[in-house]
Structure 1
């Protein structure tokens, strides 16, 4: 895709947000911000550490399956830095820089990169699963129930297929030694090398159970942090399942190249969701601002850690 077209697509989200702001009472919006309960907001921000720890521990388990090693404190720092880079780059592509950090610590590039990709896929798969609730909660925005089902099934099957293709030894080997060499024959030697480096990784019941448990734990903290923001604005009429579903749907849609940092996309989902329970557009936009506050926290903390652990300097967290 041409870079100009790519950036134009990303302006869809900001354009949607501008449209909401032009049709909103900014004075009322500011009043809602001022009336927010600060205590749940503080708790939401304070729950960042367990969110990072569970995600980092899951990443370590994926790496261990490929004979890569990293201690938990260093993994937590690198994961936080990856969250920062992901938040400030289109499509969260900066998260892949975690593989660069691993390479600088003596790990081979191919399995390091695959560990980051699989880690991201774990989050997307569970968010799609919970996003089913969100899709049906926002059913009035879609033309038909059949289309809703098709969207959910397509997203779920696609993500599971990609995950199996990359994580299962047989399909991955077929991709690297049969399919890709026919497309790029000059890369055959490199593809064979990558296949050998990732040979130890395969889907086992133990690995699936461990990664699934860590994913459920981390996403539970994500939903808890967001639910606290609903409480801060006294949006108690929205059922918890709808909070989970709409939040998961936002997470999935933010991965599409139609926004910058989820701006606009997040607002569309929240405005539609809260309107169904009698809340105003201004309340939804204020909630979106609080959602953004969590992203800002991740960016600030990740940026600080990136100064401590800049690319080009290997090492581990001092004990």
Structure 2
């Protein structure tokens, strides 16, 4: 109980930031912007977001199928939506790891199932940081605003490249994690965690054995990020924000900040960032916060709400890892 308290306190920082922002803005103007939503643009945005969910599920399905053949696209959509629902409630989206419970079966161990989620996240993060770095450079070159200095950008690029390289090499990760493993993992759990670690790299090696699968997943990932910008643009237009290509610079940056463990679903961090980024091009603070609220509601809460019925239809115990996967058609009975 006490170990969870610091996490809760840290994640509450974002909520505190959001409340401070609201106190210092014209709340009725924010409400007025939200009530003026153009329903046609909103529906178009939701349709695009639905397509994004299917494409992301397909990307994960390719990864799972390389390790556990026969996992259907429908099962991937179910697992993705449930994982997304839980990720909205946890800092850093760690709840997304629950997807592994729907992959695990007699032929696919917990470590191998976790590898499918980790590979999916690594691809997403690599693409996110690639788009994010391009956006930061574009802000400096096109907009004339230096958000990060050239030196810090170089450090960020090197850190990301090293992180991807290290994770892909089992021997390197063994050396990096050994001191933490000995200090933090109780002796009675060490064999179990070692098994997870070895099975994880078995799954990773199986996936990386086919370059075609990696290219396909990367392609689906790029498409999903482009669609995410189109979705955000339609959402913005629903309240009168029409910024053209500028949204391609904004979305990667706020998505990177959403990963910070100081908030849940980016509350507070995204609002403050949008105030700054939209303020650069003269968008009123109240309109920027209205967009941020719409983005939170329809990018996170709405999709999480869609995933909730699937969690009720296909439940698995979070503490028990013995379930063999998402039930097929017989679960409908």
- Normalized against structure 2, the TM-score is what? 0.82
In the TM superposition, residue 129 of structure 1 has moved relative to its aligned partner by 1.7
1:221 aligns with 2:254: no
Residue 138 of structure 1: CA displacement? 6.5
SS in structure 1 at match of 2:208: coil
Deviations 1:213-267 (Å, cap 9, x if unpaired)?
Answer: 110111122111111011112222x232x21221111111111111122101111
Structure 2 counterparts to residues 145-184 of structure 1, below 5 A: 145=146, 147-167=148-168, 171-172=169-170, 175-176=173-174, 184=182
Where does residue 12 of structure 2 map in the other structure?
11
Q: Which residue of 1 aligns with 2:123?
A: 122
Answer yes or no: is 1:306 the counterpart of 2:311.
yes
- Describe the shift of the 1:19–1:87 C-alpha distance in structure 2 as closer, same or farther (beyond 3 A): same
SS of residue paired to 1:8:
helix
Would the alpha carbon gap of residues 198 and 265 (structure 1) be closer, same or farther in structure 2, given more than 3 Å must change?
closer
Change (3 A) 1:266 1:106: same
Corresponding residue SS for 1:201: helix
**1:60 corresponds to:** 61
Cα distance, 1:110–1:283 mapped onto 2, change above 3 Å: same
What displacement does 1:301 show?
0.4
2:109 matches 1:112:
no
* RMSD, aligned α-carbons: 2.9
- How many angstroms apart in 2 are the aligned matches of 1:292 and 1:180? 35
Instruction: Report the counterpart of residue 212 of structure 1 in structure 2.
Output: 218
Q: How many residues align?
A: 309
Residues 29, 283 of structure 1: 8 Å contact kept: yes
Structure 1 stretches lacking a partner, 5+ long: none
TM-score (norm 1): 0.85
The alpha carbon displacement at 1:120 in A equals 1.1
Contact residue 51 and residue 222 of structure 1 kept, 8 A? yes
**Structure 1 residues 89 and 68, CA gap change in structure 2 (3 angstroms):** farther
Question: Is the 8 Å Cα contact of residues 9 and 259 (structure 1) preserved in structure 2?
Answer: yes
Q: C-alpha separation between the residues in 1 aligned to 2:260 and 2:129?
A: 13
Runs of 5+ unmatched residues, structure 2? 318-322
Which residue is 1:90 aligned to? 91
Q: CA deviation at 1:18?
A: 1.2
Report the equivalent of 2:320. Answer: none
SS of residue matched to 1:65: helix
Question: Who is 2:256 aligned against?
Answer: 252
1:235 equivalent to 2:241? Answer yes
150-159 or 271-280, which deviates more = 150-159
Looking at structure 2, the residues matched to 105 and 222 of structure 1 have their Cα atoms a distance apart, in angstroms, of 36
Q: CA deviation at 1:150?
A: 4.0
Structure 1 residues 104 and 201, CA gap change in structure 2 (3 angstroms)? closer
1:90 touches 1:260 (CA, 8 Å); kept in 2?
yes
CA distance change for structure 1 residues 123 and 180 in 2, over 3 Å: closer, same or farther? closer
**Equivalent residues of 2:116, 2:203 under 8 A apart:** no
Which position in structure 1 is the counterpart of 2:45? 44
For residues 146 and 326 of structure 2, the distance between their equivalents in structure 1, rounded to whole angstroms, comes to 53
Q: Find out whether 1:277 has 2:281 as its counterpart.
A: yes
Find the aligned partners of 1:307 and 1:291 in 2 and give their Cα distance.
26
Q: Is the 8 A contact 1:45 1:297 kept in 2?
A: no
Runs of 4+ aligned residues of structure 1 deviating over 4 Å after TM superposition are 136-139, 144-147, 178-186, 191-199
Relative distance call for 1:152 and 1:122 in structure 2 (3 A) is farther
**Contact kept? 1:121, 1:159, Cα under 8 Å:** no
